[in-house]
Structure 1
């Protein structure tokens, strides 16, 4: 073939090759989209417990590859806590705290929650110490104040419970269930009368 004939031939091969690549790529993207939709549909059909179990397995797989990741340990602790596996949550929160350079109030409050439920919803000395540690780092920690207020309410110390709930409301934190807290305050006030 002469030089003149090669140019159109190469151009046509490039055009056909590009079109085939584009077609295969779009096919691949379509396949990915279909797989994502199928995964979402099967995910929607799972119960809350199954979703939680799946989340735990996913986090465990990630931790297998990155055992020193304090954030993943903390997420796994929360997943265990949500799933009612309190002893596992305690163990995992300990790992998270040990691996975190400067643990926060959120770490200590989460561990206190797991311990509280692991001990049959009793505010033991260890739970109180963890809550105090959380509040020393963040005086208006939502988890710590809510646990303490609920404990005061259950032990018929209504005014102290009200004071803790008011402290929480006055903190102007995002994500507070203000209506629920106000309802709890009003209920406690009725018992005081």
Structure 2
């Protein structure tokens, strides 16, 4: 509705410019024609004065008087013929501004910007820092778990949230609780091994290896478990093993993997392998 009203206003303004602007043009033409007629009369009077008066000085004095009486002021003529009135200039400026604004309002960009602003205003976390947002999500998960404490999915999400905050002890307890509720699960075992891996400074401890072995016993293609093994091999300079594991993941075609990143990792490992050769 707003856009329709604006369109009508723009049409009315444009019509006004079309109707009134020619008057300004006609006025300019009229002033120019009057100036030409005045010059013709002035020239005729000067010729008559020269023929009637024998004294050149008197003729020149009369010509100066005729010039004052007949010819319009040059500045006034220039202003009238060279530019429109101030009111018309203002009207033209307003029409350009409104037409530009109207084109933007009626375009799709305007609606997309409004939708984006509305989305930000409706987001309860929009004014929070990334860490504060994670804390808010953590509190929401805790509130949900108070209502449904036997939900293993929520406990797993809580463990992931604690891992993002580097709260490894809390993440360990959350994943252990999820395992206790769901039972032996390859993804949960791998997630718990990931927590231990980062807690120990990206070192694969005996406890983490035991969890990985349990995960792979259930699912030999479990992505997180294999990624941990590949990372550990790469940082131990066992590039051949890292390449083999990453290639296995690529061949498996799991939707959980990032193929571009895996290919880059394999290429990097091959370069490191070549540089390490004597």
CA 1:37–1:154: 2 relative to 1, 3 Å: closer
The aligned residue for residue 207 of structure 2 is 126
The aligned residue for residue 163 of structure 1 is 244
Report deviation, 1:117.
1.3
TM-score (norm 1): 0.76
CA distance in 2, matches of 1:120, 1:37: 37
Matched, 1:46 2:144: no
Q: 162, 168, 186: which one pairs with 1:86? A: 168
Equivalent residues in 2 for 1:22-171, closer than 5 Å? 38-40=121-123, 42-100=124-182, 102-171=183-252
Structure number with bigger Rg:
2
Deviation string 1:144-192 (CA, Å, 9 cap, x unpaired) is: 1111101101001000000000010010111421111111111111122
CA distance in 2, matches of 1:134, 1:80: 21
Equivalent residues in 2 for 1:174-185, closer than 5 Å? 174-185=255-266
Deviation string 1:57-105 (CA, Å, 9 cap, x unpaired) is: 00101111221211111110111111111110001101110011x3321
TM-score (norm 2): 0.54
Greater relative CO, 1 or 2 (CA 8 Å, sep 6+): 1
Q: Which runs of 5+ in 1 are unaligned?
A: 1-34
CA 1:38–1:160: 2 relative to 1, 3 Å: same
Report deviation, 1:120.
2.1
> What is the CA RMSD across the aligned residues, in angstroms?
1.7
The aligned residue for residue 253 of structure 2 is 172
* Equivalent pair of 2:186/2:222 in contact (CA under 8 Å): yes
* Equivalent pair of 2:120/2:126 in contact (CA under 8 Å): no
Q: Which runs of 5+ in 2 are unaligned?
A: 1-117
CA distance in 2, matches of 1:37, 1:159: 48
CA distance in 2, matches of 1:36, 1:136: 45
